[in-house]
Amino acid sequence: MDYDIAVLPGDGIGPEVTEQALKVMKAAASRFGFGLRINALPYGANHYLKTGVTLPESAFSELRSAKALLLGAVGDPRVPMGPLEQELLLALRFRFDLYVNLRPAKSFPNVRVPINTIPEGRALDILVVRENTEDFYMGLGFRDRGDIKGKFQVKRGLYELGGALGLTISPTSDMAAALGVITGPGSRRIAQRAFAMAQARGDGHLHVASKANALPQLYGFWDAQVNEVAADYPDITLKRMNVDNLCYQLPRAPMDFGVILCPNLFGDIVSDLASSLIGGLGLSPSANLGEGFAMFEPVHGSAPDIAGTGKANPLAATLSGALLLTWLGQSEAARAIEGTVREYLSKGANLPFEVGGDAPAEKVGQILTDMIQAK
């Protein structure tokens, strides 16, 4: 069986790490008897600077013909903040209704970590389940001097939302405002996924990030929706924590955590903290899942300062490729990739710069490929 996979290498180190991830994925596909048909797309900073267009409508048509998308990284200092992030990354999440963002954080051998609260012989296995289409990432923001008068119209997989915002300030001053929106259907569907994952893992509990004490209208509503879903999972203990306390407790007692359910904004922050506990973003993959399409990307950014220097770490992109294979139903191949990464790190030789070695991305990718082919 062959699968059509779209690839968007993107910016900075994105092309470097994506190339190595694909090399490893193809080796695993060959070993387990399936094929990957790759359609590489040119969109990113260079395309935007040449054309003024971030992601044309034709790109969405191309993507609809694929089973999944592997994304390298987005961001370039030559492009102002906003177009690449909102019109490419967020646009993909919204257009394909990729409402589930999974960000696993697992311990790996021979990787230094900044904490001493992981007991000897045990490993972290945290899964941040982030709602991916609502909250303050809706893109509903305005800035002006004096009064703000803005209209908006957005479309999500579950609904269309329109309206207007009018604010006045006296005396006149520069002002900015952003709207965070959380809906019942959007909250309940991500909560259902998180509870099901905690149940499948056998955790017995699920943490949920909130900030209802300071923002009761938004996160108090979020809590109520999660509580409603919790009633359907009596075997799972719900542990609600304000996000500031969660970030305080996570490094102090990381083994207490398994699945962490977060609204969009908090999930972005908590997952980076979790990544730091396992040794860095270069070991952190992610999945953006919808009902019929999915996008996979390393959690790290484009790191333009180290692009082309040989310091890029391709492991997060490779592990994202493993998540992609799981999505395709090729779980055995996915497990082989993660197992090979663990075996490679356990040897302690030819490691990426980020984890104390000096091996460039190309060498790391070739080592992993050779290991998979040799089995």
- Please report which helix (H) or strand (E) contains residue 148, including its range: strand 148-155
- Model's pTM, two decimal places? 0.96
pLDDT digit string (tens) for 276-291? 999 999 999 999 999 9
Residue 210 confidence (pLDDT): 98
The answer on 224 and 122 residing in a single domain is yes
Q: Which domain holds residue 149?
A: 140-179
Q: Which residues are catalytic?
A: 137, 211, 244, 268, 272
The H-or-E segment that residue 166 falls in is strand 160-167
Which of 19, 72, 11, 71 has its CA nearest to residue 47?
11
Mean pLDDT of the chain: 96
Residue 215 inside a domain? The answer is yes
| Rounded Cα–Cα distance for residues 236 and 198 (Å) | 8
Q: Is residue 109 part of a domain?
A: no
| pLDDT reported for residue 352 | 96
- pLDDT tens digits, 111-144: 999 999 999 889 999 999 999 999 999 989 999 9
Q: Say what the pLDDT of residue 375 is.
A: 79
Low-confidence ranges of the chain (pLDDT < 70): none
Q: Same structural domain for residues 171 and 184?
A: no
In this prediction, residue 83 carries a pLDDT of: 84
**What is the number of structural domains in the chain?**
3
pLDDT at residue 86, as a whole number: 87
Taking residue 38's Cβ as centre, other Cβ atoms within 10 Å add up to: 15
Q: What b/e sequence results for 80-106 when a residue is b if at least 16 CB atoms lie within 10 Å of its CB, and e otherwise? A: eeebbbebbbbbbbbbbbbbbbbbbbb
Terminal-to-terminal C-alpha distance of the chain: 21
Q: For the chain, how are helix, strand and coil distributed in percent, rounded to 5?
A: 40, 25, 35
Specify if 89 maps to a domain: yes
pLDDT reported for residue 120 = 86
